[in-house]
């Protein structure tokens, strides 16, 4: 059963009955401030990243004719910086689930990742990574983190900064996918790989972390106070069980994959619905979607030992889960969870403060999308004044135009 209070049922009923575009402003559970966004028409797939001084960085893609730009801007209080272009190309790969991101590095630098087509097929593309020393005003030439140059899929990237101004990149790699000419094998699948990259673009050897993963679910990774990296992703067994696994890098060595919880979701196809992880000190929260036994659920699990072990997960959805999750970990062991519920023919972006003891007590819809299109995968980041949430916002009309909405969520009354 879901570890939510009776308030969950009441709020779900309110969502179904509500005809407002944004029910959150009426509930008063979380106080929201719309921060607008500096994007143009056809902006989509936002990602957020915190900067060390409390500012928040927004990145997105923006299509113009045959080209697409990867762009960014920085929010300082209520003011946006000028828009800065990271990359522009006719080969930029645009996908609602596999999108660019930017992270802040030690020493004040930035790193960005995006995808570029490397062949004529829809799923033939490489990962590109570039660095900036001046908050995105200029960027280095891009590098490709994977040795493989085959015309296969490489994507769903997570970037984890280190203390030296570099980072570790993790991605799903298709070099062995559909590569056999006769028969099949356990290894004929997407792989999870990682590589440490210095700020000057030099790279350590690749690490193969898992030989068989789900094909197209997001990865997520974070670093603990002890310096370990914990990465989570949707795994894939030979029997098509696609539950969430974790790998850790400790003292430079990666552990074997370990299932966080045996949901037992058997599905012969990718659900395009990856997990999310966040850390604070050595406290960790992991959130994910599963539809085991044909019952869609959002679950969250906590660890207080740097990811060596996780508690029994809590179910936190309201009964109509679509997944597309994100999470922020707090120092007291609680977390802020974000996910999508299907309500009244639309999508509700739901947020809840979750504790290991009480679970999700008072979920709230930040926004309800009842028109055409989709809000995609809403993203969160913790800034100096609160939590920030960004999503793709469909624009009413027949042309399918989109923009991006950003709201600030006050975490104290």
Across the chain, mean pLDDT equals 91
Q: Specify the number of domains making up the chain.
A: 1
Answer yes or no: is 381 within a domain. Answer: no
pLDDT number for residue 7: 41
Answer yes or no: is 198 within a domain. Answer: yes
User: How far, in Å, are 61, 135, 359, 402 from residue 73 at the CA level?
Assistant: 12, 9, 35, 18
For the stretch 265-291, pLDDT in tens is: 999 999 999 999 999 999 999 999 999
| Residue 94 belongs to domain spanning | 55-341+349-356
Q: What is the CATH number of the domain that holds 67?
A: 2.120.10.10
Answer yes or no: is 269 within a domain. Answer: yes
Answer yes or no: is 95 within a domain. Answer: yes
Q: What is the mean pLDDT of residues 121-145?
A: 97
Alpha-carbon span 299 to 288, nearest angstrom: 5
Answer yes or no: is 403 within a domain. Answer: no
pTM for this one?
Answer: 0.93
- Residue 238 CB contacts under 8 Å (≥ 6 apart), including other chains: 186, 212
Q: What is the mean pLDDT of residues 18-47?
A: 73
Answer yes or no: is 229 within a domain. Answer: yes
Answer yes or no: is 368 within a domain. Answer: no
pLDDT exceeds cutoff 70 at 14: no
- Residue 154 CB contacts under 8 Å (≥ 6 apart), including other chains: 115, 125, 126, 127, 146, 148, 171, 172, 173, 174
Answer yes or no: is 385 within a domain. Answer: no
User: How far, in Å, are 36, 188, 262, 307, 326 from residue 283 at the CA level?
Assistant: 32, 35, 21, 8, 16
- Determine which of 45-54, 180-189, 315-324 has the lowest per-residue pLDDT on average: 180-189
For the stretch 158-214, pLDDT in tens is: 999 999 999 999 999 999 887 544 445 555 689 999 999 999 999 999 999 999 999
* E runs forming strands in 13-66: 31-34, 43-50, 56-64
């Amino acid at each position: 059963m879901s570890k939510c209070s009776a308030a969950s049922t009441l709020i779900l009923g309110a969502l179904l009955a509500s005809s407002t575009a944004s029910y959150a402003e009426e509930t008063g559970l979380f106080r929201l401030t719309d921060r607008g966004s500096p994007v143009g028409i056809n902006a989509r797939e936002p990602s957020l990243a915190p900067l060390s001084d409390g500012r928040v960085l927004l990145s997105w893609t923006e299509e113009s004719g045959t080209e697409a730009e990867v762009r960014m801007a920085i929010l300082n209080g209520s003011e946006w910086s000028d828009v800065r272009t990271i990359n522009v190309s006719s080969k930029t790969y645009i996908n609602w689930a596999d999108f660019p991101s930017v992270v802040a590095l030690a020493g004040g630098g930035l790193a960005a990742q995006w995808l570029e087509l490397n062949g004529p097929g829809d799923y033939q593309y490489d990962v590109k990574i570039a660095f900036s020393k001046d908050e995105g005003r200029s960027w280095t030439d891009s590098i490709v983190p994977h040795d493989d140059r085959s015309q296969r899929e490489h994507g769903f990237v997570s970037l984890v900064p280190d203390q030296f101004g570099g980072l570790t990149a993790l991605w799903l790699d298709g070099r062995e996918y559909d590569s056999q000419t006769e028969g099949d094998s356990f290894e004929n699948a997407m792989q999870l790989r990682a590589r440490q990259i210095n700020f000057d673009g030099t790279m350590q050897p690749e690490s193969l972390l898992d030989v068989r993963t789900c094909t197209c679910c997001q990865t997520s990774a974070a670093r603990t106070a002890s310096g370990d990296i914990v990465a989570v992703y949707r795994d894939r067994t030979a029997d098509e069980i696609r539950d969430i696994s974790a790998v850790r890098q400790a003292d430079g060595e990666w552990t074997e994959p370990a299932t966080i919880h045996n949901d037992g979701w058997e599905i012969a196809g990718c659900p395009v619905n990856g997990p999310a992880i966040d850390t604070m000190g050595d406290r960790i929260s992991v959130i994910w979607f599963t539809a085991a036994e044909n019952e869609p659920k959002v679950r969250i699990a906590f660890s207080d030992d740097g990811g060596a072990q996780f508690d029994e997960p809590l179910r936190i959805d309201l009964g109509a889960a679509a997944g597309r999750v994100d999470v922020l970990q707090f120092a007291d062991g609680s977390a802020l969870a974000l996910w999508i519920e299907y309500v009244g023919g639309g999508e509700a972006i739901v947020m809840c403060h979750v504790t290991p003891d009480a679970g999700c007590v008072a979920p709230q819809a930040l926004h309800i999308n009842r028109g055409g299109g989709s809000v995609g995968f809403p993203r969160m980041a913790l800034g100096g004044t609160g939590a920030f949430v960004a999503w793709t916002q469909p624009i009413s009309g027949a042309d399918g135009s989109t923009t991006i909405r950003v709201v600030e969520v006050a975490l104290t009354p």
